[in-house]
Amino acid sequence: MAGSSPGDIVGEVLRSALAEVLSTPWLAGLLAVITLGKLVQLGPAMVHGGHGRDPRRTFSRAEKAEFLERAGHRCEHHSWLLGRCRGTEALQADHVHPHSRGGATDVLNGQALCRRHNKQKSDRPPWRWELNRLARRRESYFPPGTPTAVLRYGPPVPDPVEV
């Protein structure tokens, strides 16, 4: 044996520390809880397809004004039976792809909803066909030339270190 390199020594120390932890039931339990917590933290990142939560949650006044304008100051909810909602009062700026699921706080991921339909809306990310349907319907009421497609995610959030 030609003596251990520093890396080996560190590995040895870690291994014996881990052995120590695992032989102590409450420490092993704590380790399991921490590991589980990390997995729970990582879960949403996987659900988001690598998109973390947009650090900004609420739309600005200007963005909200833009939503309402292009929607003709009317709720954008549609039902199969009744067609487009007639609500024009107290409209709210809503994330089409929910913010909690990685949806961007961006005009391209926004829609105008009345209070009732915003409340009714679930936290589920919309299916592709639902977005296509919304885009098709918007063609009938958005001003010409206004993009109707929904963009779920904004650009990836830059690494703060690189800024």
If binding is defined by CB under 5 A, does position 75 make contact with Zn ion? yes
Tokens of 161: 């270190």
Residue type, 69: E
Within the chain, residue ranges assigned H as helices are 6-22, 25-47, 61-70, 115-120, 128-138
Q: Is 87 in the site for Zn ion (CB under 5 A)?
A: yes
Contact track, Zn ion, 19-58, x by CB under 5 A: ----------------------------------------
Least Å from the CB of residue 128 to Zn ion: 23
For residue 117 the two structure tokens come to: 């339909």
Q: How far is the CB of 144 from Zn ion (least distance, A)?
A: 24
Measured between alpha carbons, how far is 107 from 116 in angstroms, rounded to an integer?
21
Q: Which stretch binds Zn ion (CB under 5 A): 15-23, 34-42, 113-121, 153-161?
A: 113-121
In the chain, the amino acid numbered 1 is: M
Kindly tell me which residue out of 51, 77, 97, 152 binds Zn ion, with binding defined by CB under 5 A. Answer: 77
117 is a site residue for Zn ion (CB under 5 A): yes
85 binds Zn ion, rule: CB under 5 A: yes
Residue 85 CA, chain-centre distance (Å), reads 26
Which of 2-10, 20-28, 82-90, 125-133 is the region at the interface with Zn ion (rule: CB under 5 A)? 82-90
**112 makes contact with Zn ion (CB under 5 A):** no
Scanning 81-89, 94-102, 126-134, 140-148 for contacts with Zn ion by CB under 5 A, the matching segment is: 81-89
d(CA 51, CA 97): 12
Q: How far apart are CA 136 and CA 133, in angstroms?
A: 5
Q: Tokens at residue 67, please?
A: 């939503």
- At 1 the three-state DSSP class reads coil
- The residues of the shown chain that bind Zn ion, judged by CB under 5 A, are 75, 77, 85, 87, 114, 117
